[in-house]
Structure 1
Amino acid sequence: MSQDTRGGGHRAAGRRRRKQPVRRKALTIAAWSAAGVVLLGGGSLGYFYFKLNGNLKTVDINQALGTDRPQNADNGSMDILVLGSDSRGGANGEYGQDDGGSARSDTAMIVHLYDGHKKASVVSIPRDALVTRPSCAVTGSKKTDPGGPRHMFNESFTIGGAACAVKTVEKMSGIRMDHYIEVDFTGFKKIIDNLGGVEVTTTKPIKDGASHLDLASGTNHLNGEQALGLVRTRKSVGDGSDLGRIQLQQAFIKALIKQVKSIGIFDNPKRLVDLADTSTKALTTDTQLGNVKALAGFAQSLQGIDAQNMQMITLPVGADVRDPDRVVPLTKESKMVWDALLAEQSIPAEATANSMGDKGKAGEIVR
């Protein structure tokens, strides 16, 4: 398959997007996983290149999906699917057992970087949203799952791993994902601990037995375990659904970005190296991002964005009439979201006005 190069890596054949200038302003953008932290370190890794390269795990999305994908955009934008995996394998076993023995996408966010990479929109997809899943090759077998309507979104990852998750998102949105980044529970904890923790302010106490979180009202300095508990909490905030948890995750990401900018990672070489080592061990990426050189180039394209020019929404959803424990994307409003991103426009407020996803108060609990 022919490929061309962009942002320090490669992409599938198609129209080349304009090369982005290097930005000086420090920033991280990646979902709750803090995957962007390692990207910021990429340009300073030096002789650690080969060691860090060996840490990374990759998935060849282009080979798996072939030509059955949306066309590459030619407008300077970039789209990344960021997944938090709930795999209980290895050190993650302390969080319980996988249902059915397979991991699922506990968190899913589409990060859209606009032309010039000075602003971004982040669209969270509820894990329990019922979507039409395309046919996907089943992980670890020669079988193909036919897919079909009314499948939970996070089952795509369970059935066919990263490739099926990307394929599902692309069929939903009509937007080609340029990159894929995944992190698991243990990796997330270690990244936060290497950062020295993250400070958040809670407007009321949070106590959640399921996520083992117990925070007092006010300023809290979270270590990795507590940060993981926060982004997994749902039953004790908002309406107790995954929609409330998404709002907590989005609030935490903004706190995380502030933390990364405030601690001077580049002023502490040891911290930088430790963080890069931990982060690369925690990540699974598409093959185009699966080396330090590509990550460094990608980092350069992110450095013009800050928290205040990052728009974060939940995919517009409403209650499913057949199952009260599930939600379904609102057709008209979801199309408004995808159309806005394809047209390089901000997502209009009208798109989320009638959605259950952005009406809760969970996001107001953490600042």
Structure 2
Amino acid sequence: MSDRRTNRTNRSRHRGLRIALYALAGLLLLGAGAAGYAYWRLNGNIRSVDIDAQLGTGRPPASTGGAFNVLVLGSDSRAGSNGSLAGGDTGDSARSDTAMVVHIDHDHAHASVVSIPRDTLVSRPACTAPDGTAVPAARSVMYNSAFEVGGPACAVKTTEQLTGMRMDHYVQVDFAGFASMIDSIGGVDVTTTVPISDQDSGLRLPAGTHHLGGAQALAFVRTRHAIGNGSDLGRIELQKQMVKSIMRQVGSIGLTANPARMWSVADKLTRSMTTDSDLASVSSLVGLANTIKAVGPDQMTMVTLPVVTAPSDPNRVVPQKAQAAALWTALQADQPVPQSVLSEQPTNPADGGASPSAARAAGHG
């Protein structure tokens, strides 16, 4: 019996990137009646956006050979229950507080995850906002402004122009949904070698290892002013640490053997999600989970888009042309992240400092 439990735990740990999607799949094991209700309930939770209809044909070609890309955004909307968790103020707008391009390779055995700093200055293409308003093209604007002024489709179009790659899928998660999901898995453990006291995020932690609930975990991934050099690059490193912490926690609780907890995670996750229309069902999400079932934590490479301080504004960054080009070219060709990019990545400020590349981009807003 103990061997079976050990094997089950090892399988759970290996799921990593796809674990939240397998939570949905596992619900189908609860019996025909329960599965039917679960399917109906969870499908009703998911919001969707028809990216293809809004963007038309003027896009990079669809991915081929089995590889595909997913744009994952964390929205800083203050709407509804997000307001009490978010801190700060964006008025009535919402921006992409977190942005990751997830590239799944052709044999679905490895993922490369590229975080795009929200303060990166880019050329934003002309877009159409969700209400039908035309959004003109703009040069040298913050990357996260695309979502703010034009919604998901504009964020996808801007990302495709930046990367040269088709975003085959889109997933958006809001503040409240992230916090609820953390609570539903029982919280997560994080370690920091320096004390953190950030007035904006509300996070206050002494140095050491801490078990964080949802609200604290959200504050952790939003913290930047009181740690390292205060840049968004440092915050991105905290977000990478959080992803790994979530993977470890999900693996440790044996989610697939706990139907009640599985239901809680799936319900809270789908309530917080907006996806492209092709992913907006339990069956589609389960299909995606099956596609990437070989990808575990050890098969995932997480990097930040190489950037340098913008010549026009010390509080903004721009892509480091040679390294950024090498990164996108490699992923377009379904190749691993180049070593030249890996060697210049920022370090986690919670581990006591920042790399030279982070220092060069210090202080951006």
TM-score scaled by length of structure 2? 0.87
Q: Which residue of the other structure, out of 104, 121, 138, is the alignment partner of 2:112? A: 121
Q: CA deviation at 1:50?
A: 0.7
Aligned: 1:237 with 2:227:
yes
Q: CA deviation at 1:143?
A: 2.6
Q: CA deviation at 1:228?
A: 0.3
- Specify the code of the residue in structure 1 equivalent to 2:112: S
Q: Which residue of 2 aligns with 1:193?
A: 183
CA offsets, 1:201-229, max 9 Å, x none?
Answer: 22222221211111222221111011001
CA distance in 2, matches of 1:248, 1:25: 21
Q: Which residue of 1 aligns with 2:20?
A: 38
SS of residue paired to 2:313: coil
Q: Which residue of 1 aligns with 2:357?
A: none
CA distance in 2, matches of 1:241, 1:235: 7
CA distance in 2, matches of 1:181, 1:228: 18
CA distance in 1, matches of 2:290, 2:141: 37
Q: Contact 1:139 / 1:161 at 8 angstroms: preserved in 2?
A: yes
Q: Contact 1:192 / 1:223 at 8 angstroms: preserved in 2?
A: yes
Question: In the superposition, relative to structure 1, how do residues 207 and 289 fare at CA in structure 2: closer, same or farther (>3 Å)?
Answer: same
Question: In the superposition, relative to structure 1, how do residues 137 and 253 fare at CA in structure 2: closer, same or farther (>3 Å)?
Answer: same
Q: Which residue of 2 aligns with 1:292?
A: 282
CA distance in 2, matches of 1:206, 1:236: 6
Question: In the superposition, relative to structure 1, how do residues 363 and 202 fare at CA in structure 2: closer, same or farther (>3 Å)?
Answer: closer
Q: Which residue of 2 aligns with 1:80?
A: 70
Q: Contact 1:112 / 1:341 at 8 angstroms: preserved in 2?
A: yes
Q: CA deviation at 1:331?
A: 1.8
Q: Which residue of 2 aligns with 1:138?
A: 129
CA distance in 2, matches of 1:132, 1:302: 32
Question: In the superposition, relative to structure 1, how do residues 205 and 97 fare at CA in structure 2: closer, same or farther (>3 Å)?
Answer: closer
CA distance in 2, matches of 1:353, 1:138: 39
Q: Which residue of 1 aligns with 2:351?
A: 364
SS of residue paired to 1:161: helix
CA distance in 2, matches of 1:243, 1:24: 31
- Specify the code of the residue in structure 2 equivalent to 1:45: L
Q: CA deviation at 1:24?
A: 9.0
CA distance in 2, matches of 1:218, 1:307: 23
Q: Which residue of 1 aligns with 2:32?
A: none
Q: Contact 1:233 / 1:245 at 8 angstroms: preserved in 2?
A: yes
- Counterparts of 1:87-102 in structure 2, within 5 Å, are 87-94=77-84, 95-96=86-87, 98-102=89-93
CA distance in 2, matches of 1:297, 1:25: 20
Q: Which has the higher helix share?
A: 2
Q: Contact 1:136 / 1:147 at 8 angstroms: preserved in 2?
A: yes
Q: CA deviation at 1:152?
A: 0.4
Question: In the superposition, relative to structure 1, how do residues 339 and 363 fare at CA in structure 2: closer, same or farther (>3 Å)?
Answer: farther
CA distance in 2, matches of 1:252, 1:96: 19
CA distance in 1, matches of 2:159, 2:285: 23
RMSD between aligned residues: 1.8
Q: Which residue of 2 aligns with 1:312?
A: 302
Q: Contact 1:42 / 1:299 at 8 angstroms: preserved in 2?
A: no
Moved more, 325-334 or 55-64: 325-334
Q: CA deviation at 1:351?
A: 3.0
Gaps of 5+ in 2: 1-10, 29-34, 354-365
Q: Which residue of 2 aligns with 1:13?
A: none
Question: In the superposition, relative to structure 1, how do residues 118 and 43 fare at CA in structure 2: closer, same or farther (>3 Å)?
Answer: same
- Counterparts of 1:263-278 in structure 2, within 5 Å, are 263-278=253-268
Gaps of 5+ in 1: 1-22, 30-35
Question: In the superposition, relative to structure 1, how do residues 25 and 361 fare at CA in structure 2: closer, same or farther (>3 Å)?
Answer: closer
CA offsets, 1:15-48, max 9 Å, x none?
Answer: xxxxxxxx9984132xxxxxx5431112222321
Q: Which residue of the other structure, out of 27, 44, 47, is the alignment partner of 2:15? A: 27
Q: Contact 2:128 / 2:135 at 8 angstroms: preserved in 1?
A: yes
Question: In the superposition, relative to structure 1, how do residues 365 and 182 fare at CA in structure 2: closer, same or farther (>3 Å)?
Answer: farther
CA distance in 1, matches of 2:24, 2:69: 20
Q: Which residue of 1 aligns with 2:214?
A: 224
CA distance in 2, matches of 1:345, 1:155: 30
Aligned: 1:106 with 2:94:
no
SS of residue paired to 1:313: strand
Q: CA deviation at 1:97?
A: 6.5
SS of residue paired to 2:71: strand
- Specify the code of the residue in structure 1 equivalent to 2:48: T
Q: CA deviation at 1:233?
A: 0.3
What fraction of aligned residue pairs are identical, expressed as a percent?
46
Q: Which residue of the other structure, out of 30, 52, 55, is the alignment partner of 1:65? A: 55
Q: Which residue of 2 aligns with 1:211?
A: 201
TM-score scaled by length of structure 1? 0.87
SS of residue paired to 1:99: coil
